[in-house]
Chain A
Amino acid sequence: MAGSVRWSAGPLDRAQIRALGLVAPLLLFIGVTFIAPLGTMLMRSVHDPVVADALPETLAQLKSWDGEGLPPEAAYAALARELRRAAAARTLGQMAGRVNRVQVGLRSVVTRTARELREVEQGPWRTQMAAVDSAWADPATWYAIQVTGERFTARHYLNAVDLQQLADGSVAAQAEERRIYVRLFLRTLAVSGLITLLCLLLGYPVAHLIANSSPRRASLLLILVLVPFWTSLLVRTTAWIVLLQSQGVLNDLMVSLGLINDSGRLAMVYNMTGTIVAMTHVLLPFMVLPLYSVMRGIPATHMNAAASLGATPLRAFWRVYWPQSLPGVGAGALLVFILAIGYYITPALVGGSSGQLISNMIAYHMQTSLNWGLAAALGGVLLAGVLILYWLYDRLVGVERMGLG
């Protein structure tokens, strides 16, 4: 530090180098433990070598296939050989799983064929394989193998926005019953928007009250905001289940007050209502805290001045107070929105089947369907959205002021 006392050009560089040296370990750490994992995941959205590695000869045979009619006998022979090899090397399941994603049902066709061909030594392969399953007499099956054999593909991204590439290379909409992701993205955006709005409606007056209270009372009220903020997310989610379920505290209360009768208990959890209520509760502090820190800086004299000039309270608020609180509104709203569109835990626990958001679909493809390429592509789209909002936040608010109690 000795050198930085004088603010001349030379020593300043040393201070900068020193500063960078202090930051470098963390950047390296984030690079390895966070950015690299994100990178590998995004890589999976465009790159998948499993089929290409398992069926090199078959894919070479298919190169000359025109896509019309069935491929030559040599392709069948190569596939029969490579299926057996894959079964022995235990990579058959992975390969079959990939093909199955393009043409549902092929996983069992492939595994069954490999099982039946175990004892078969001689061709003709085409007739024998078609005898095992008629799928082998269908060009669509071969197309599925060809497509999944590409090491690099945009297929998953097309899938993530409900498009598909047809055999002739053109891009078309998915079949009606498989068109779910665009709708889910839109639903996620709409729900996040609604939650942001609810948080703003509930949070604005509260932040105003805290900002205009005496310091003692303000710190007491702040604790009421901070207790939920610090309380485990799982605890808060449990709390909402306990409150909202049909034999839960709220329904019991309403029944005993005679507001509803026992058979008319309201379904407030395991559906979208549950998701919205619980998420609003979870995210509300993220709205109140930035609002509060901006409102604290708005001098009360401005409002008084407006009032003394004869403005009605509503008009004075709208013309004087609201514009000055806008930075807080922007910061809070963006933060809540960013957090909401990536939310997973709360919808998974209280959302039932109708209250699921895009993150839950990513988790589904990660853990259940194991369509990792699609999960990665959906994650890539979501990540891009978040990064745009994050960039916007940085422009408008500055990431350093990411509000926390």
Chain B
Amino acid sequence: MNDRQTTAVITVLIALCAAGCGSDEPDSITAVSWGGSYGRAVQEGVNVPFTESTGIRVDVEDYNGGLAQIRAQVDIGDIHWDVVDLEISDAVRGCDEGLLERIDVNALEPGPDGTPAAEDFLTGSQVGCGVSTLFWSTVYAYNENNIPGARPTTMADFFDLNAFPGRRGMRRVPQVNLEFALIADGVPLDQVYAQLDTPEGLDRAFAKLETIKDEVIWWEAGAQPPQMLADGEVIMTTAYNGRIFNAQVLEDQPFVIVWDGQLLDVGQIAIVAGTPRLEEAMRYVTFASMAESMARIGRRISYSPVRKSGMPLVTTHVTAGVDMEPHMPASPANAARALRYDWSWWVDHQDAMNERFSAWLAR
């Protein structure tokens, strides 16, 4: 390599660096969310308008729940995530552990009608450090094309290998699955957590899961279940309701959600403690927790706003035009047989259950 070639190589490297290295500009934050069609809804409904109104760029990273990545960053003292979209039990645990910044609800924007934020959020939704944004459900769903005869209608059907032989998809975490197992085993909805509180109830849940263990494909990302249903890799799967909805209306998939014994939960956004971009992160949270932002998401995927003033703003799907209300997890018809996710139980038991669940899986 002669000198001129060397110079050329170095020039190319510098040019590539200019294109690739530009990290950590002050005017950008990393917002972590759940990817797939929900990620797209957040991108269109929140991130893009946020950048338009503030000039702050939003880098998106996907994750699949849990606190591990946040703990790792805080523990090692090298923080790259600024805002995270969390399950509520994780948000409360992260708050207790000092992983998240405390956000004062009074600092948030009032509703469009001027209602102060503290009154605009549904009662009981503001816990821990984060800000609640959307209702979502973990349901189970099937593909009409793959179940020719009688259709499943209850949670018990999901666990019934005789009536519905074939592989099932389930999320690779203990939460929700344990509740589903007990519901399928005949435990009334209002006694599920009381049962889980006893060693016998836990054994019962694991025993029920054991009955289908060999037929389960475990998924981690929310985008996987609709994919597995479309491919016929499983005949039914648990899934986040919005993902199934989007496959139904945007991809014309013949998927059916079974609204029976599903878990109704609230999602939160929170700020990672110690982020060097605290001010930008706070502006993002303020923006994302406005009723209009929640409604923009709600018009793209079937998760409904936690702010009272946000609900009327969700009308029809922004491109497909379908009425959103019949697809929302909190709508009275769908929520009739729903179990409200008891985050406080999971705050206390998540670690023990993770341990037991992963040992159970490894066996």
Direct contact of A and B (CB under 8 A): yes
Q: Which listed residue (A93, A107, A368) contacts B74, Cβ 8 A?
A: A93
List which B146-200 residues lie within 8 A (CB) of chain A: 165, 167, 172
- Which residues of B have CB within 8 Å of A270? 217
A87-B98, A114-B96 known; A245 vs B233 contact (CB < 8 Å): yes
- Which residues of A have CB within 8 Å of B231? 245, 247
A270-B217, A352-B218, A369-B354 known; A97 vs B98 contact (CB < 8 Å): no
- Which residues of A have CB within 8 Å of B361? 353
A111-B96, A267-B167 known; A104 vs B351 contact (CB < 8 Å): yes
- Which residues of B have CB within 8 Å of A93? 71, 74-75, 94, 96-99
Asked whether A104 lies within 8 Å of B355 as measured between CB atoms, the reply is: yes
B17 at the interface (CB under 8 A from A): no
Asked whether A247 lies within 8 Å of B233 as measured between CB atoms, the reply is: yes
A105-B351, A180-B359 known; A353 vs B233 contact (CB < 8 Å): no
- Which residues of B have CB within 8 Å of A87? 98
- Which residues of A have CB within 8 Å of B348? 105, 108, 112
Asked whether B349 lies within 8 Å of A90 as measured between CB atoms, the reply is: no
Q: Shortest CB–CB separation between residue A148 and chain B, in angstroms?
A: 14
A92 at the interface (CB under 8 A from B): yes
B363 at the interface (CB under 8 A from A): yes
Looking across the interface, which residue of chain B has its beta carbon closest to that of A95?
A: B97
A177-B359, A247-B232, A369-B358 known; A100 vs B351 contact (CB < 8 Å): yes
A92-B97, A92-B98, A368-B68 known; A108 vs B74 contact (CB < 8 Å): no
Q: Is the interface of B mostly helix, strand, loop or mixed?
A: helix
Asked whether A246 lies within 8 Å of B362 as measured between CB atoms, the reply is: no
Asked whether B351 lies within 8 Å of A107 as measured between CB atoms, the reply is: yes
A178 at the interface (CB under 8 A from B): yes
Q: Is the interface of A mostly helix, strand, loop or mixed?
A: helix
Asked whether A367 lies within 8 Å of B69 as measured between CB atoms, the reply is: yes
Q: Which listed residue (B165, B167, B273) contacts A90, Cβ 8 A?
A: B273
Asked whether A364 lies within 8 Å of B358 as measured between CB atoms, the reply is: yes
A63 at the interface (CB under 8 A from B): no
A94-B75, A352-B217 known; A369 vs B68 contact (CB < 8 Å): yes
Q: Shortest CB–CB separation between residue A185 and chain B, in angstroms?
A: 12
Q: How far is the CA of A361 from the CA of B363 in the complex (A)?
A: 13
Looking across the interface, which residue of chain B has its beta carbon closest to that of A100?
A: B351
- Which residues of A have CB within 8 Å of B98? 87, 90-93
Asked whether A105 lies within 8 Å of B349 as measured between CB atoms, the reply is: yes
- Which residues of A have CB within 8 Å of B232? 246-247
A92-B98, A370-B75 known; A111 vs B93 contact (CB < 8 Å): yes
B-side interface residues, number (CB < 8 Å): 39
Q: How far is the CA of A73 from the CA of B218 in the complex (A)?
A: 48
A-side interface residues, number (CB < 8 Å): 36
Looking across the interface, which residue of chain A has its beta carbon closest to that of B220?
A: A368
Q: How far is the CA of A93 from the CA of B72 in the complex (A)?
A: 11
A96 at the interface (CB under 8 A from B): yes
- Which residues of B have CB within 8 Å of A111? 93, 96-97
Asked whether B233 lies within 8 Å of A246 as measured between CB atoms, the reply is: yes
B347 at the interface (CB under 8 A from A): yes
Q: How far is the CA of A184 from the CA of B358 in the complex (A)?
A: 13
Q: How far is the CA of A367 from the CA of B354 in the complex (A)?
A: 13
Q: Shortest CB–CB separation between residue B253 and chain A, in angstroms?
A: 14
B356 at the interface (CB under 8 A from A): yes
Asked whether A90 lies within 8 Å of B74 as measured between CB atoms, the reply is: yes
A302 at the interface (CB under 8 A from B): no
Asked whether A178 lies within 8 Å of B350 as measured between CB atoms, the reply is: no
B116 at the interface (CB under 8 A from A): no
- Which residues of A have CB within 8 Å of B347? 108
List which B75-114 residues lie within 8 A (CB) of chain A: 75, 93-94, 96-99
B352 at the interface (CB under 8 A from A): yes
Asked whether A353 lies within 8 Å of B218 as measured between CB atoms, the reply is: yes
- Which residues of A have CB within 8 Å of B201? none
- Which residues of A have CB within 8 Å of B167? 246, 267
A18 at the interface (CB under 8 A from B): no
List which A232-250 residues lie within 8 A (CB) of chain B: 245-247
B35 at the interface (CB under 8 A from A): no
Q: Shortest CB–CB separation between residue B182 and chain A, in angstroms?
A: 20
The chain A residues found within 8 Å of chain B, CB to CB, are 87, 90-94, 96-97, 100, 104-105, 107-108, 111-112, 114-115, 177-178, 180, 184, 245-247, 263, 267, 270, 352-353, 356, 361, 364, 367-370
Other A-B pairs, 13, CB within 8 Å; known A92-B97, A184-B362 = A90-B274, A92-B96, A96-B97, A100-B351, A108-B347, A177-B363, A178-B359, A180-B359, A246-B232, A246-B233, A353-B361, A367-B68, A370-B68
23 interchain pairs, CB-CB under 8 A: A90-B99, A90-B273, A93-B75, A93-B94, A93-B96, A93-B99, A94-B71, A94-B74, A97-B97, A105-B348, A105-B349, A105-B351, A246-B167, A246-B233, A247-B232, A247-B233, A352-B218, A353-B172, A353-B216, A356-B362, A367-B68, A368-B68, A370-B75
Query: What are the 8 tightest A-B residue pairs by CB atom distance, in nearest-first order?
Result: A93-B97, A90-B98, A111-B96, A247-B232, A105-B352, A108-B348, A104-B352, A180-B362
